Structure 1
Amino acid sequence: MRRPFRSRTPPDAPLPAPGGLPAEPNRFVGRDAELSEVVRLLGESRLVTVVGVGGVGKTRLALRAADQVQKRYCDGAWLAELAALRDPELLDHALAEALGLTDHSGRPPRRVLAEHLATRRALLVLDGFEQLIDACGALVAELLRRAPGLRILAVGRRPLRVAGETTFTLAPMAERDAVTLFTDRATAGDQGFRAEGERLTAVRELCDRLDRIPLALELAAGRLHALSVEQVLDRLGDRFRVLTEGRRDAPARHRTLRTAIGWSHELCTPEERLLWARLSVFAGPFDLDAAEYVCGGPELPADDVFDVLAELISQSLVIREETPAGTRYRLLETVRAYGAEWLDALAETDRLRGLHRDWYLGLAAWYELDWFGPRQAEVAAGADSALPNLRAALELCLENPEDAHLGRHLAGTLWFYWVGCGRLTEGRLWLGRALALDSPSDGARLKALWVLGYVAVLQGDSAAAVGALHECREEAARSGNGPARAYAVHRLGCLALLSDEMDRAERLLRSALDAYRELGELNSNVLMGQVELALALVFQGDLDAAVELCAEVREICEDSGERWTRAYALYVLAYAAWTREEHARARTLITESVAIHHGFRDRVGLVLSVELLALVTASEGDPAEAAVLQGAATRLWRSVGPPLFGSAYFGAPRVRCERYATELLGAEEYRAYEEEGRGLSADATARRALAHRPPAPAVPRRPPSGGRGRARGARKPADSPTTRGGESAG
């Protein structure tokens, strides 16, 4: 006779509280928002699956959530740990064991489980199911169908893909929570540990470099008995060797960081492992096209990359993100480092790095072409997203002198990003490195030279600019490279403009523009040359000619969709409108200029526009707001270079505004408002500039000594300050 199914608990024993959740081994830290969301989802869905990369804290969060809601379930909350299982046939037995069930009746375990749960209201936590995902999915579907009072909280690298499933992806910890967790665990081993001062800075860096993954942080904290925080940081080049100790009572798959990630690796298919290794060549976010080009090959056709990538995403090994540049993918650094080791083992690292470099060389060239057109904002966003990978490509180019020409080509091709998107300092770094390598003169070297000169001009480094631009012009003349010579002459004209040499600037800029026309060259650089010529004319008093030039630029920009150069043309048109006392028109023009420059993060254009807007604001009768904008511009100049480029002409709006606002407010009040402006960030400055509405005029609308530009050929704008030597510019 078969023995009937019964509980393990003897009938005369005191009944324990329903449930089988383990006690927490230590303090639960952070995750307040995530915890609340999982609890909410459990109230709405009968199956919630928490997914995430290995070591991110999925199990701990799930158990905490189960503990918070277990009172809702009169038959308890139970944990079934499945990670050690490999045989699908043992799955039903493991669940029965977790529920404290024994049955010697010979009935199938699935039937026992279903009958036991059919009339019960319970929560079942399934942890570590991914290696048995098909079997587990089928079991979950059947149990949910046959037990209406059952809710399941599953924990794994990928969703179960069962009807009615709600997925919650657990990301790495926020920085504040990560620091708190690390400090808490470090203090447990050393009561004297304090995260303060320089040590706090080191702890923050350590948390970031470990991707703020709780397992990695706990393992790192466990090393502090032998190493300082700084020493752990120094050794993170081989994080899998450093982080080798964990709790002895932790699951085997969590005892080392290598094992935690390796656990995920073992569960991947050969194609998934191969793609994981190849994706490790990416230094930051990448798109599908890049992955297909770089990672495709005979063993993994490019057409199959997406399907395999999707599986890695479902396993939380690859993160999918929506960015301003579109959909992007990335690996957490810990996952990437593990993949890189496998790529080395496959002896594919050099080949993949070469493919990666080639892709980003092509992408930069494509972006340069697209910069002159309606996709400028998309190009800027794309370059921002690709920057870590562009850096990696540049590094590879410059590692080998034989590839130096590729490094110069890439650094020069990215001129639009260095100049147009606020990356002057980094651009100069890469250009300098590329040009420092010995190699014969070629088109790539010439381009890098004039781009370096351009960057140096905008940074106010006249000596470096002159050296690079003269070298470029001379080598271009010897080699017959017309475009390079035109660009060098153009940038020499720009340097003359910022150096208050208006006659020379006009001559050089006209020469460059003539050369561009002969060459059939038309792009953002060419249009910028026309704007710079217009500035030279404005500063010499020829407003009509300047307005005509910029009106033409504006029309071309509208036809082509170009916005970056358009913003500079608007600056000139606004300057001319203010000079003609057309203040409302000047405000409309310069406000649009501010918006465009801020969108591209072009600090040079932004600070010039803000200063002109301050003058317009003062002219409209709001000296207090004008003083605030002046102070904000002062702060912006710190991130640009020498204030006003050291130019009396470019400094004229500031001098006029300060003089007028001070007369109306008094020196002390003006300084107070200006100090307020110095506290504004670039974002806050742009918001304030774009939101301001001029008040009704309560003071004279025309600043002292304002008015129309001087006669053509004048050496100094009206009311411009004296030069640095104390002598007039005339």
Structure 2
Amino acid sequence: MRRSQRPSPDDSPDPPIPGTTARGNLPAELNRFVGRGEELADLGRLLTESRLVTVVGVGGVGKTRCAVRAAALLEKRYCDGVRLVELSAVHDPGLLEHAVIDALGLTDHTSRPPRTTLLEHLTGRRLLLVIDGFEHLVDACAELVCALLRRAPQLRVLAAGRQPLELDGEVTYPLAPMADEDAMTLFAERAAAVRPGFRLTEDNRGSARELCRRLDGIPLALELAAGRLRALSTEQVLQRLDDRFRLLTGASRSAQARHQTLRTAIGWSHELCAPEQRLLWARLSVFAGQFDLEAVEYICSSPELPAESVLDVLTGLLAQSVVLREDSAVGTRYRMLDTVREYGAEWLTATGDTDRLRRRHRDWFLGLATSCELDWFSPRQGEVAARAESELPNLRRAMECSLECPDEAHLAQYLAGTLWFLWVGCGRLSEGRHWLDHVLEEETPYEPSRFKALWVLGYVAVLQGDAVGAISALHECREEADRTGDAAAQAYAVHRTGCLALVTDDMVRAEELLQDALGRYRDLGELNSNVLMAQIELAMAVGFRGDLEAAAEICQEVREVCEDRGERWALSYALFVLAYAQLQQGRPECARELLQESLAIGHTFHDLLGSVLAMELLALVTAVEGDAAEAAVLQGAAERIWPSVGLPLFGSAYYGRPRAECERLARQELGDARYESGRREGAQLDPDAAVARALACRPVDRPGVKAQRRGPVPAPDGRTRKPAASPASGRGGPDRW
């Protein structure tokens, strides 16, 4: 295919790329995209003709940038959006589907294989999936892409990597280096960014052109060279590059010429670094994805590189574009491009220090997970969630490192168990199940770590609706904990067994086990989010058995503890129970306020179970208030979310009553046709849009809506209840929830 031999039609800034919305997750461009006009046009045409296009080329040639730019320009073609899947930090093929699920913005709590989740979500959707950096997972990625394309006929895939996927129907698009004039423009723009006022003149144009030619128009090489203009002139850069070409290009006769050029450009930057900068560069290669300064200071410091000097050395690497700075929700972060990281990893291997650095990396993230678990029960809960999400690639690498050595497998078990708050509280049940199953395959003599992984596995399985998997893990945990006298493991195993009884409608046993667990927690002096959830689950069991007053009192106590400690996640479930009590007392307006707060919290933490429970009850509140049409929409929206949680309402007769009552009221008001139309409308809303609509819903603000009811409210069992005298006490609730 012919490539552009001319610059862009004008040098004005590019039109803005459509912003990231619920329909896409493409990153914002931090500097101007230069050239590649013909390549972008080619990719647009090829994606019209083929469902799989793979951009291939040497590292640093601009595959990712070009693919993302093309996808952004084509976004309007795809009514279900454009999604970018970045795989460079994913090393375990078993996590490939999870990475795609994350990119699609899905949260799946079920025990279904993630492949099933993907296939069900993509079927019937018109979407462009951009897959980047798959080389190290090429076989698994090819198999997954093939399955997705077969099942989802409107799906298109734009892949970017150093080799094709080699699938039937794939169109391979080799991305050549930049044409001369585009390369010159890129070099000049990046040079001006590091040396304000720089421009191409008659004096430096010749040397700049020669520099671009020597670097074969490879964008990464050009950007590294431009970074040197902080200290050197264009002529000096060219002269030094000449030296490095002679020094470094003869390393491998079998390597591709352009690959040699890229390695030369990176190697030249490496040679120009001070010794301590080279050392830090090599050590930074142990990180996956982003990292922060504190982690660098701990992991990478040594007598040769004291911790107090790390910031200055890192600043030097930033100045040379070896390390990139990124501002995120959790503060300033840093990262290296994959090609640059790989180069550093080779140098680290040459020093023989890789194993030591990987263990230090593992130890740091073990400590981070431990502190995050403690901070989860505090006002910093939201920060903990964001931090754990941002560090997930490094946490994965830490578990992988521990599993590589049989004597250290207990550390992987400890880490997988300690991250329960990430798996359960932040909507990552499916990935948590993957790791917990994986780490428990290893037999270890460190019983506390194994026990923790077992009860967390049981907890995850309960929430996924996998009763068999849950009882197996919890029985083993309790049996072994009884044998060894591990009181904490006993308490957690009893608690989660009670939780299993709760969702399988055995309320008598649930109440018995949860009371037992809470007594054990008191004896241990244990107070955390798990203990609060045991109280909330006990309130549900008590309420389901008919004593709504006691249920409300328990949750009011939990609410006070949460407000005192700054806990938000467990609070969302307590608010759900309190809202139900308010609804049964004939106070739907109070129930709405509680439910909207519950829903907002659950959605913030990506907790689909808490979110969908609140939304279903909010639908009933809306119906009781007289807005049957909106209630039908909210029910439809909740029904779309449930498959990602598990069996709707766990198959429970108790949990299903609000839905049944809402449907009865709405059908009675609307008739079957209008009710079903509203449900279909709600089912078209993605979770973000559904939550936004539910939180904004104020029936009294909309014309044509009936006045709110103040009298007796229909209970889920079909009877009516009189309002209670005390809205906070829960008195006057139904005989059965």
* TM-score normalized with structure 1 length: 0.68
Query: Corresponding residue for 2:444?
Result: 439
Q: One-letter code of the match for 2:507?
A: M
Alignment equivalent of 1:707, drawn from 704, 720, 723: 720
Instruction: Out of 669-678 and 451-460, give the one that drifted further.
Output: 669-678
Aligned Cα root-mean-square deviation (Å): 3.5
| C-alpha contact (below 8 Å) 1:216/1:243 kept by paired residues | no
Check if 1:300 corresponds to 2:153.
no
Counterpart in the other structure of 1:669: 674
Match of 2:237 in 1: none
- 1:527 lines up with 2:532 in the alignment: yes
Residue in structure 1 matching 2:5, options 23, 26, 30: 26
Q: Which residue of 2 aligns with 1:392?
A: 397
1:295-334 superposed matches below 5 A: 295-334=300-339
1:507 matched to 2:512: yes
Q: Secondary structure at the match of 1:545?
A: helix
Alpha-carbon distance between aligned partners in 2 of 1:692 and 1:215, rounded to the nearest angstrom:
40
The one of 194, 197, 201 aligned to 2:50: 197
Deviates more, 1:328-337 or 1:550-559: 328-337
Residue of structure 1 equivalent to 2:706:
698
The CA deviation string for residues 649-671 of structure 1, in whole angstroms up to 9 with x for no partner, is 11111111111111111111111
Match of 1:546 among 551, 560, 576: 551
Runs of 4+ residues deviating >4 angstroms: 27-37, 169-174, 180-187, 192-196, 204-211, 213-218, 228-231, 242-250, 716-720
- Residue in structure 1 matching 2:345, options 330, 340, 352: 340
Matches within 5 A, 1:404-415: 404-415=409-420
Return the offset for 1:234: 6.1
- After TM superposition, list the pairs within 5 Å mapping 1:640-655 onto structure 2: 640-655=645-660
Aligned ranges 1:562-711 → 2 under 5 Å: 562-695=567-700, 698=706, 701=709, 702-703=713-714, 705-708=718-721
Does 2:395 match 1:382?
Answer: no
Change in Cα spacing, 1:717 to 1:33, as seen in structure 2 (3 Å) is farther
Separation in 1, partners of 2:462, 2:686: 25
Deviation at 1:282, TM superposition (A): 0.5
Per-residue Cα deviation, 1:532-565 (whole angstroms, up to 9, x for no partner): 0001111112111111111110101111111110
Residue in 2 aligned with 1:127?
none
Q: Measure the CA separation in 1 of the matches of 2:561 and 2:399.
A: 34
Question: Counterparts of 2:326 and 2:474 in 1: how far apart (Å)?
Answer: 42
Residues 172, 292 of structure 1: alpha-carbon distance in 2 compared, 3 angstrom cutoff: farther
Which residue of 2 is the match for residue 252 of structure 1? 214
One of 58, 61, 64 as aligned partner of 1:212: 64
Are 1:517 and 2:522 an aligned pair? yes
Shift of 1:717: 8.0
**Greater alpha carbon shift after TM alignment, 515-524 vs 432-441:** 432-441
Q: Equivalents in 2 of 1:669, 1:432: separation in Å? A: 46
Q: Distance in 2 between matches of 1:590 and 1:318?
A: 45
Summarize the Cα distance change of 1:717–1:300 in structure 2 as closer, same or farther, 3 Å threshold: same
Q: Residue type of the partner of 2:460?
A: V
Contact 1:706 1:718 in 2 (8 A): no
1:583 Cα deviation from its structure 2 partner? 0.6
Query: What one-letter code is carried by the residue in structure 2 that aligns with 1:251?
Result: R
Q: Distance in 1 between matches of 2:10 and 2:342?
A: 26
What residue identity is the alignment partner of 2:720? G
Bigger shift: residues 430-439 or 325-334:
325-334
- Residues 186 and 579 of structure 1: CA distance in aligned 2, closer, same or farther (over 3 Å): closer
Which residue of the other structure, out of 448, 455, 461, is the alignment partner of 1:450?
455
| CA distance, structure 1, for counterparts of residue 12 and residue 420 of structure 2 | 43
Report Cα offsets for 1:571-597 as digits up to 9, x if no partner. 000011111111111011010000100
SS of match in other structure, 2:571:
helix
Cα distance, 1:267 vs structure 2: 2.5
SS state of the match for residue 320, structure 1?
strand
In the alignment, which residue of structure 2 is the partner of 1:43? Answer: none
Tell me how far apart the structure 1 counterparts of residues 435 and 382 of structure 2 sit (CA, whole Å): 23
Q: 1:434 and 1:415 mapped to 2: Cα distance?
A: 14
Structure-1 residue corresponding to 2:279:
274
Name the CA distance, whole Å, in 2 between partners of 1:30 and 1:358.
53
Shift of 1:707: 3.4
Contact in 1 for aligned 2:547/2:735 (Cα 8 Å): no
Give, as a single letter, the amino acid of the residue that structure 2 aligns with 1:307.
Answer: D
Q: Deviations for 1:645-690, whole angstroms, at most 9, x for unmatched residues?
A: 1111111111111111111111111111111111111111111111
Partner deviation per Cα, 1:104-136 (whole Å, 9 max, x = no partner): xxxxxxxxxxxxxxxxxxxxxxxxxxxxxxxxx
CA contact (8 A) 1:183 1:194 kept: no
Deviation at 1:261, TM superposition (A): 2.6
Do 1:31 and 1:173's aligned partners in 2 also have CA atoms closer than 8 Å? no
Which secondary structure state, in structure 2, belongs to the residue aligned with residue 251 of structure 1? helix
Q: Contact 2:505 / 2:654 at 8 angstroms: preserved in 1?
A: yes
Equivalent pair of 2:540/2:577 in contact (CA under 8 Å): yes
Residues 719/215 of structure 1: CA separation in 2 closer, same or farther (3 Å cut): closer
Secondary structure at the counterpart of residue 440 of structure 2: helix
Aligned residues of 1:660 and 1:703 also touching (Cα < 8 A): no
Instruction: Report how many aligned residue pairs link the two structures.
Output: 540
SS in structure 1 of the partner of residue 645 of structure 2: coil
2:290–2:333 contact (8 Å) kept in structure 1:
yes
Partners of 1:372 and 1:562 within 8 A in 2: yes
**CA apart distance, 1:184:** 5.8
1:160-211 deviation digits (Å, cap 9, x = unpaired): xxxxxxxxx955969xx98x77566899xxxx977743423x4499999967
- Native 8 Å contact 1:590 1:613 kept in 2: yes
- How far apart, CA to CA, are the structure 2 residues paired with 1:207 and 1:494? 51
Equivalent-residue separation in structure 2 for 1:637 and 1:347 (angstroms): 51
- State the alpha-carbon separation in 2 of the partners of residues 584 and 614 from structure 1: 13
Answer yes or no: is the 8 Å Cα contact 2:584–2:734 preserved in 1.
Answer: no
Gap change, CA 1:245 and 1:209, over 3 Å in 2? closer
Higher RCO (CA-CA < 8 Å; seq separation 6+): 2
Aligned twin of 1:463: 468
- Matching residue's letter, 1:361: L
Identical residues among aligned pairs (%): 55
C-alpha separation in 2, matches of 1:207 and 1:264 = 16
The one-letter code matched in structure 1 to 2:672 is A
Shift of 1:371: 0.4
Is the contact between residue 325 and residue 335 of structure 2 (CA under 8 Å) also seen in structure 1?
yes
TM-aligned CA deviation for residue 329 of structure 1: 1.1
Q: Does 1:479 align with 2:484?
A: yes
Deviation track 1:454-487 (CA, whole Å, cap 9, x = no partner) reads 0000000000000000110110000000010110
Distance 1:342 1:215 in 2: 30
User: Which residue of the other structure, out of 528, 537, 541, is the alignment partner of 1:536?
Assistant: 541
The structure number with the bigger radius of gyration is: 1
Secondary structure, counterpart of 1:571 in structure 2: helix
CA distance in 2 between counterparts of 1:33 and 1:590 reads 50
1:316: how far off?
2.3
Q: Are 2:494 and 1:489 equivalent residues in the alignment?
A: yes
Q: TM-score, normalised by structure 2?
A: 0.68
Q: Hey, what's the Cα distance between the residues in 1 that align with 2:46 and 2:371?
A: 52
- Residue 266 of structure 1 deviates from its aligned partner by 2.8
Query: In structure 1, what residue type is equivalent to 2:529?
Result: S
* TM superposition shift of 1:262: 2.7
Superposed CA offset, 1:465-513 (max 9, x none): 0000011011000000001011000001000100011111000000000
The 8 Å contact of residues 649 and 656 in structure 2, kept in 1 or not, is answered as yes
Letter in structure 1 aligned against 2:5: N
